Amino acid sequence: MGAVALALAGCAAEPTAEGESTVHGGEASLALPDLATVTVLGGASGRALLMVGLLVCALGLGFGFMAYVQLRQLPVHDSMREVSELIYSTCKAYLIQQGRFLLVLWLFIATVIVVYYKVLVGFEWGRVAVVIAFSLIGMGGSYSVAWFGIRVNTFANSRTAFASLGGRPLPMHRIPLKSGMSIGMVLISLELFMMLVILLFIPAEIAGACFIGFAIGESLGAAALRIAGGIFTKIADIGSDLMKIAFKIKEDDARNPGVIADCTGDNAGDSVGPSADGFETYGVTGVALITFILLGVGDPLMQANLLVWLFVVRSVMVIASGASYLVNDAWAKARYGTVDRMNFETPLSSLVWITSVVSIVATFATTWFVLSDGTTDGLWWKLATIISFGTLAGALIPELVKAFTSTNSKHVREVVKSSRQGGASLNILSGLVAGNFAAYWLGMAIVGLMGGAFLLSEQGLDSIMIAPAVFAFGLLAFGFLGMGPVTIAVDSYGPVTDNAQSVYELSLIEEVPGIESTLRREFGVEAQWDKAKTMLEENDGAGNTFKATAKPVLIGTAVVGATTMIFSIIMSLTEGLETGLENLSLLHPPFLLGLVTGGAVIYWFTGASIQAVTTGAYRAVEFIKNTIRLDGVTKASEADSRRVVEICTQYAQQGMLNMFLGVFFATLAFAFVEPYFFIGYLISIAIFGLYQANFMANAGGAWDNAKKIVEIDLHAKGTALHEATIVGDTVGDPYKDTSSVALNPVIKFTTLFGLLAVELAVSLNNQGRHSLVLVLAGIFFLVMSYFVYRSFYGMRITASLEDDEVLLEPGEAGPGSGAAVTGAGAAAGLVQTGAGEQR
């Protein structure tokens, strides 16, 4: 990239007589209107309302940190605290490594920013530095909320495990939900605060540069953390789960050195990834809408009105989410405070629906307050209704997802039934059926919501803007995220409940001498061991379901929001939709070829992410099989556990590097090939990505909860049926938590970074350097192809077929041992040591 920068050093845009560059820098050159010109009912100024928004952000941050303090102060036994702190320390080591890695990846982005804005556009160094600085701030925001998320969750996991000992289900529900709300409120409030600071305190003429830099940075952070976290967690999960079959040991057996890595992965993949992803999604959607308003709305006063309205609505929705949580918590306390059993999914569902209703009411009230004076023809209620379609989707989509992933789902029960006679083969086939049906129904739901938004956009919005349907689609994505704190909360519920079950087993609390009298004396708890374990598993099933419900919301936002960002590129290429529109047609071959190319990249990315998990899991299983000791020890050594974490981190980073750089150079290559080819490519990855992600996420969720039904409802652990569902779950692991979820930030990063890439290519073309553009396209394509090649051949399992150990036949004893390794243990490659110790 440095060589390319030097090659372009002589290609800077020629200055005009006034010293201005002939290239204008696209979105980074957009200036904000004067927000002080906006007045609302009662005479308050728009700027004053946004200042109140800063106060709301402070309250949201305070809410999150207060919950953090409360969680830390909850009672917990030392045996459980030690486990959660070990999990946190391994998470810390992982995140520190990821932070260093992110800075290396950021250098690629910074290079493109300098090449485009300084070399070609001719911005002064101060403005270039602003873009670069805000890209770092955006990346730092994604990274910091991820860090906050693991700290809160590793407080909550041990407290949830300890709360189970009392035999009451309500505390086991309230603790992980409070943890999730803490993360959600901090995440959304921090994101909103940063964007309000740019709106209010950065000079209007450089605010566009700040927003673009900020969005690119947070998109980079989210993409890298999502990809790496997804690979890490599934390497650890598969490595740990396969030991249950191989050694006939229980879930989260403390002697298994893979369990700590699995717990770390729950946070790296299911907390760090979603936190960074949610932060980026919220910000990028806002930047896309801001860009549309500045490009598509001609009247500066109307621009200012719409900008103020958007951010006031966002502020009010933070309040709506917090209030809804408090109301739902009070209802849950009254309803379940004294019961011995509860359906853990019920209060989570009620929270989502209460928040949706409250947010819709708040949206209409706020929109009327802000826009009714400054608009005509009922524009305020039309805009409020479009947002409300998205807010409704935030509640409706989880209900659809539950039909395919809940433990009460007929699809999930079908997976269990098919496994009884057909083993792992029919288990996998039934899961694929669930995923395909889910992709259909979720796709139709999103089409219906987008169709409703389109029809409303036809009712007079064209009088104030061009392409009103595109704005409506952006508002729909905005509505998806309106109840953002609650969406993040129910998503974060899952990793806490999963970890809580592991913490309970790893603590070996039942074996602590005098534990019952200690619990009675120090905590006033009469331990109910069997009931505690049953409730932890039931709560984990609810967590699995609601982890699954949040994924399509974020995926849908990426796809719907991408249309608004693609519009920005189209506006630039067509000079405000005045020329070149015939190129956005199947009759323009490059556009059609771009549509075909996007699908190829989605399938490569899916394969590459699963390959990274497969190879990493192979190495993890190999290490665990060679080190696990089942006789004479109660726990795996901390050194062995940390070594498994290192293996997971190594393959997560290698896989993420190949995939991220493949996506990065693909974006540059295809943007340089031909601008309309690139637009077709962006549309294609959004559409293919939507269906691929929904299919994989819901198939994985069905396999996961099918295993839960066998474990909880059928009490069939250790049976052939259980082994079949474990195999299905390990297939579903990279489906639901690696490939599917990573497509969301990849779509947004490609689209957002594509804004810079295509402007860079067009700028060079406008300077008569078409040959250079084609040469660079070829170079970028070769580099991309290198990383595509490496994503398999550089990540494949290197052991030859002849290198495998000689396996013991079922029933055959190892040398020097009176014991035998049978069945699945033999098939897994277990051997006997000379001392007779099973390893």
DSSP states of 3-23 as a string?
Answer: HHHHHTGGGPPPB-TTS-BSS
Q: Do residues 236 and 252 touch, judged by C-beta distance below 8 A?
A: no
Only one residue has tokens 């009327």, namely 368
Instruction: Tell me whether residue 823 is exposed, middle or buried, using C-beta atoms within 10 angstroms of its C-beta: 0 to 12, 13 to 18, 19 or more.
Output: middle
Which residues are CB-contacts of 393 (< 8 A; sequence separation ≥ 6)? 445, 446, 449, 476, 479, 480, 553, 556
pLDDT at 548 (0 to 100):
82
Length of the chain: 839
pLDDT of residue 28: 59
Q: How many CB atoms lie within 10 A of CB 97?
A: 16
Region at 33 (left for phi over 0; alpha for psi -120 to 50; beta for the rest): beta
Residues 329, 592: Cα–Cα separation, whole Å: 52
pLDDT for res 799: 79
Q: How far from 44 is each of 120, 231, 370, 699, CA to CA, in Å?
A: 43, 50, 10, 51
Inter-residue contact 490 to 150 (CB < 8 Å): no
Tokens of 525: 């708890």
What local confidence, expressed as pLDDT, does residue 285 receive? 87
Contact 189, 64 (CB under 8 A): yes
The structure tokens listed for 11 are 């290609």
- The helix (run of H) or strand (run of E) holding residue 724 is helix 720-734
Closest CA to 385 of 373, 374, 371: 371
Q: What is the pLDDT of residue 496?
A: 93
Low-confidence ranges of the chain (pLDDT < 50): 1, 3-25, 805-839
Instruction: Note whether 472 and 384 are within 8 A (CB).
Output: no
How many Å apart are CA 324 and CA 484, to the nearest integer?
12
Distance CA 172, CA 156 (A): 10
Contacts of 308 (CB under 8 A, 6+ apart): 35, 38, 40, 46, 49, 50, 370
SS3 768: coil
Please provide the DSSP assignment of 381-441 as one string: HHHHHHHHHHHHHHHHHHHHHHHHHSTT-HHHHHHHHHHHHHHHHHHHHHHHHHHHHHHHH
Query: So what's the pLDDT on residue 374?
Result: 66
Contact 279, 271 (CB under 8 A): no
Q: What is the pLDDT of residue 804?
A: 52
* pTM reported for the whole predicted model: 0.87
Please answer whether residues 479 and 386 qualify as being in contact, where contact means their C-beta atoms are separated by less than 8 angstroms: yes
**Six token digits for residue 115:** 């090449």
State the alpha helices, DSSP H only, in 794-838. 823-827
**CA distance linking residue 730 with residue 699, whole number of Å:** 12
Please state, in angstroms and rounded to a whole number, the distance separating the CA atoms of residues 752 and 737.
23
Q: Which residue bears the tokens 């009672």? A: 75
* Among candidate residues 264, 260, 267, 265, the one with its CA nearest the CA of residue 638: 260
* 40 secondary structure, DSSP code: -
CA distance 310 to 291: 13
pLDDT of residue 836: 35
What is the enclosing helix (H) or strand (E) of 367?
Answer: helix 345-371
Q: Which of 223, 262, 268 has the alpha carbon at shortest distance from 244? A: 262
**Which pair of tokens denotes residue 706?**
């099918």
Rg (CA), the chain: 27
Provide the pLDDT for residue 165.
95
- Phi, psi (rounded to 5 degrees) for 45: -85, 155
**Are 77 and 212 a contacting pair, CB within 8 Å?**
no
The distance between the two most distant Cα atoms of the chain, rounded to a whole number of Å, is: 93
pLDDT of residue 826: 35
Q: Measured between alpha carbons, how far is 188 from 483 in angstroms, rounded to an integer?
A: 10
Residue 521 is classified by DSSP as I
CB contact at 8 A, 464 and 379: yes
CA 289 – CA 475 distance, rounded (Å): 8
Q: Give the whole-angstrom CA distance, residue 387 versus residue 359.
A: 10
Q: Evaluate whether 687 touches 439 at the Cβ level (below 8 Å).
A: no
